[in-house]
Protein backbone atom coordinates (compact mmCIF):
# COMPACT_ATOMS: atom_id res chain seq x y z
CA UNK A 1 0.00 0.00 0.00
CA UNK A 2 1.36 3.43 -0.96
CA UNK A 3 0.97 6.74 0.85
CA UNK A 4 1.99 10.25 -0.19
CA UNK A 5 3.17 12.46 2.67
CA UNK A 6 3.62 16.07 1.56
CA UNK A 7 5.19 18.65 3.82
CA UNK A 8 4.36 22.21 2.85
CA UNK A 9 7.05 24.85 2.82
CA UNK A 10 9.32 26.92 0.64
CA UNK A 11 12.61 25.64 -0.79
CA UNK A 12 15.91 27.30 0.02
CA UNK A 13 18.04 28.14 3.02
CA UNK A 14 16.29 31.51 3.45
CA UNK A 15 13.08 29.73 4.55
CA UNK A 16 14.52 26.66 6.27
CA UNK A 17 13.89 27.75 9.88
CA UNK A 18 10.64 29.67 9.35
CA UNK A 19 7.26 28.79 10.81
CA UNK A 20 5.83 28.37 7.30
CA UNK A 21 8.27 25.47 6.72
CA UNK A 22 7.11 23.23 9.55
CA UNK A 23 5.74 20.80 6.96
CA UNK A 24 9.25 20.35 5.57
CA UNK A 25 10.66 19.88 9.09
CA UNK A 26 8.13 17.17 9.97
CA UNK A 27 8.72 15.28 6.71
CA UNK A 28 12.50 15.62 7.19
CA UNK A 29 12.24 14.15 10.69
CA UNK A 30 10.00 11.29 9.56
CA UNK A 31 12.31 10.42 6.68
CA UNK A 32 15.35 10.53 8.95
CA UNK A 33 13.69 8.24 11.51
CA UNK A 34 12.77 5.75 8.77
CA UNK A 35 16.32 5.85 7.34
CA UNK A 36 15.44 7.56 4.07
CA UNK A 37 17.21 10.20 2.02
CA UNK A 38 15.81 12.97 -0.11
CA UNK A 39 16.69 13.27 -3.78
CA UNK A 40 15.82 16.21 -5.97
CA UNK A 41 13.32 15.06 -8.58
CA UNK A 42 10.60 16.67 -10.68
CA UNK A 43 8.75 19.37 -8.70
CA UNK A 44 10.00 18.13 -5.30
CA UNK A 45 12.63 16.64 -3.09
CA UNK A 46 11.50 13.04 -2.69
CA UNK A 47 12.25 10.26 -0.22
CA UNK A 48 10.76 6.78 -0.35
CA UNK A 49 10.64 4.89 2.94
CA UNK A 50 8.83 1.92 4.46
CA UNK A 51 6.77 1.74 7.63
CA UNK A 52 4.93 -1.40 8.78
CA UNK A 53 4.85 -2.83 5.29
CA UNK A 54 3.57 0.40 3.77
CA UNK A 55 5.43 2.40 1.15
CA UNK A 56 5.64 6.13 1.98
CA UNK A 57 6.58 8.66 -0.67
CA UNK A 58 7.57 11.79 1.28
CA UNK A 59 7.82 15.00 -0.70
CA UNK A 60 8.88 18.58 -0.15
CA UNK A 61 7.63 20.59 -3.14
CA UNK A 62 10.16 22.76 -4.95
CA UNK A 63 7.29 24.83 -6.39
CA UNK A 64 7.08 27.21 -3.41
CA UNK A 65 4.10 27.25 -1.09
CA UNK A 66 1.63 28.94 -3.43
CA UNK A 67 1.96 26.19 -6.07
CA UNK A 68 2.02 23.15 -3.76
CA UNK A 69 -0.91 21.54 -5.58
CA UNK A 70 1.09 21.11 -8.78
CA UNK A 71 3.71 19.00 -7.00
CA UNK A 72 1.13 17.03 -5.00
CA UNK A 73 -0.90 16.21 -8.09
CA UNK A 74 2.16 15.16 -10.09
CA UNK A 75 3.38 12.73 -7.41
CA UNK A 76 -0.11 11.33 -6.81
CA UNK A 77 -0.35 10.54 -10.55
CA UNK A 78 3.23 9.31 -10.80
CA UNK A 79 2.69 6.68 -8.08
CA UNK A 80 -1.05 6.15 -8.64
CA UNK A 81 -1.88 7.10 -5.06
CA UNK A 82 -5.51 7.71 -4.19
CA UNK A 83 -6.52 10.83 -2.31
CA UNK A 84 -7.44 8.65 0.70
CA UNK A 85 -3.73 7.87 1.09
CA UNK A 86 -2.46 11.46 1.05
CA UNK A 87 -1.44 13.46 4.13
CA UNK A 88 -0.63 17.18 3.84
CA UNK A 89 1.47 18.57 6.72
CA UNK A 90 1.01 22.31 7.12
CA UNK A 91 1.44 25.23 9.49
CA UNK A 92 -1.71 26.70 11.03
CA UNK A 93 -2.14 30.16 12.53
CA UNK A 94 -5.51 29.23 14.10
CA UNK A 95 -3.87 26.75 16.49
CA UNK A 96 -1.62 27.68 19.41
CA UNK A 97 2.06 26.90 18.97
CA UNK A 98 2.72 23.17 19.02
CA UNK A 99 -0.92 22.08 18.96
CA UNK A 100 -1.46 19.30 16.40
CA UNK A 101 -4.72 18.40 14.75
CA UNK A 102 -5.47 15.90 11.99
CA UNK A 103 -8.59 16.35 9.88
CA UNK A 104 -10.03 14.56 6.87
CA UNK A 105 -11.41 17.69 5.23
CA UNK A 106 -11.85 21.39 5.82
CA UNK A 107 -11.32 24.87 4.50
CA UNK A 108 -8.00 26.29 3.44
CA UNK A 109 -8.17 28.73 6.36
CA UNK A 110 -6.54 31.41 4.20
CA UNK A 111 -3.44 29.25 3.70
CA UNK A 112 -2.10 29.73 0.16
CA UNK A 113 -0.60 26.24 -0.06
CA UNK A 114 -3.92 24.63 0.88
CA UNK A 115 -5.79 26.98 -1.48
CA UNK A 116 -3.66 25.77 -4.37
CA UNK A 117 -4.05 22.10 -3.42
CA UNK A 118 -7.82 22.47 -3.21
CA UNK A 119 -7.95 24.29 -6.55
CA UNK A 120 -5.86 21.60 -8.28
CA UNK A 121 -7.66 18.64 -6.66
CA UNK A 122 -11.07 20.32 -6.89
CA UNK A 123 -11.91 19.14 -3.36
CA UNK A 124 -11.25 19.98 0.27
CA UNK A 125 -11.68 16.32 1.30
CA UNK A 126 -8.10 15.28 1.91
CA UNK A 127 -6.23 14.56 5.12
CA UNK A 128 -4.17 17.32 6.59
CA UNK A 129 -2.04 17.43 9.71
CA UNK A 130 -2.17 20.97 11.01
CA UNK A 131 0.77 22.12 13.15
CA UNK A 132 -0.07 25.16 15.25
CA UNK A 133 2.33 28.07 14.91
CA UNK A 134 0.24 30.49 16.97
CA UNK A 135 -0.84 33.97 16.05
CA UNK A 136 1.49 36.20 18.02
CA UNK A 137 1.60 39.01 15.48
CA UNK A 138 0.11 42.47 15.04
CA UNK A 139 -2.57 43.18 12.47
CA UNK A 140 -1.10 43.17 8.97
CA UNK A 141 2.04 41.29 10.08
CA UNK A 142 0.89 37.75 9.23
CA UNK A 143 3.33 37.25 6.33
CA UNK A 144 6.30 38.46 8.39
CA UNK A 145 5.22 36.14 11.22
CA UNK A 146 4.91 32.93 9.19
CA UNK A 147 8.10 33.73 7.27
CA UNK A 148 9.87 34.56 10.53
CA UNK A 149 12.12 32.27 12.53
CA UNK A 150 10.97 30.36 15.62
CA UNK A 151 11.29 32.22 18.92
CA UNK A 152 13.77 30.88 21.52
CA UNK A 153 10.80 29.70 23.63
CA UNK A 154 9.29 27.83 20.66
CA UNK A 155 12.63 26.21 19.85
CA UNK A 156 12.74 24.67 23.35
CA UNK A 157 9.79 22.38 22.60
CA UNK A 158 9.77 22.30 18.78
CA UNK A 159 11.55 18.94 18.45
CA UNK A 160 9.14 17.28 20.91
CA UNK A 161 6.15 18.56 18.94
CA UNK A 162 7.74 17.38 15.67
CA UNK A 163 8.15 13.93 17.26
CA UNK A 164 4.43 13.88 18.02
CA UNK A 165 3.66 14.97 14.44
CA UNK A 166 5.65 11.94 13.22
CA UNK A 167 3.50 9.71 15.45
CA UNK A 168 0.34 11.16 13.88
CA UNK A 169 1.60 10.24 10.41
CA UNK A 170 2.75 6.75 11.39
CA UNK A 171 -0.60 6.14 13.11
CA UNK A 172 -2.51 7.34 10.03
CA UNK A 173 -0.53 4.96 7.81
CA UNK A 174 -1.01 2.04 10.22
CA UNK A 175 -4.59 2.44 11.52
CA UNK A 176 -6.31 5.11 9.41
CA UNK A 177 -7.79 8.56 9.87
CA UNK A 178 -10.62 7.95 12.35
CA UNK A 179 -8.56 5.96 14.85
CA UNK A 180 -5.67 8.40 14.54
CA UNK A 181 -7.90 11.40 15.21
CA UNK A 182 -9.41 9.65 18.26
CA UNK A 183 -6.04 8.61 19.61
CA UNK A 184 -3.88 11.65 18.85
CA UNK A 185 -5.88 14.87 18.34
CA UNK A 186 -5.87 15.77 22.03
CA UNK A 187 -2.19 15.05 22.72
What pLDDT, in 10s, does the model give residues 55-98? 999 999 999 999 999 999 999 999 999 999 999 999 999 999 99
- Inter-residue contact 187 to 166 (CB < 8 Å): no
What integer pLDDT is reported at residue 95 of this predicted model? 94
What was the pLDDT predicted at 110?
86
Which of 3-17, 70-84, 85-99, 135-149 has the least mean pLDDT? 135-149
Look at residue 160 and tell me whether its pLDDT is greater than 80: yes
H/E element, 102 = strand 100-103
* Annotation marks residue 20 as catalytic: yes
Strands 54-61 and 44-51, by their bridges, are: antiparallel
How many other C-beta atoms can be found within 10 angstroms of the C-beta atom of residue 152?
7
Superfamily for domain range 2-184: Peptidyl-tRNA hydrolase (3.40.50.1470)
Q: What is the pLDDT of residue 105?
A: 94
List % helix, strand, coil for the chain (3-state, nearest 5): 45, 25, 30
Q: How far apart are CA 187 and CA 185, in angstroms?
A: 6
The predicted structure's pLDDT at residue 182: 93
Around Cβ 133, how many Cβ atoms within 10 Å?
25
Q: Which of these, 126, 149, 145, lies nearest to 136 by C-alpha position?
A: 145
Average pLDDT, the chain: 95
Going from N- to C-terminal start, the domains of the chain cover 2-184
Which residue, 50, 69, 48, is CA-closest to 59? Answer: 48
Average pLDDT of the segment spanning 9-16: 95
CB atoms near residue 58 (< 10 Å): 27
pTM: 0.95
pLDDT per residue over 86-130, tens digit each?
999 999 999 999 999 999 998 888 899 999 999 999 999 999 999
List the catalytic residue out of 20, 55, 79, 179.
20
Amino acid sequence: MKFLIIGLGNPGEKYAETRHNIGFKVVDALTEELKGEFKTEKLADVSQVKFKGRHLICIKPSTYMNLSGKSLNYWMQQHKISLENVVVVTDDLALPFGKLRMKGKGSDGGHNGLKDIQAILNTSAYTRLRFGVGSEFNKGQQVDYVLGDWSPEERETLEKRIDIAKEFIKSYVAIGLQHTMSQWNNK
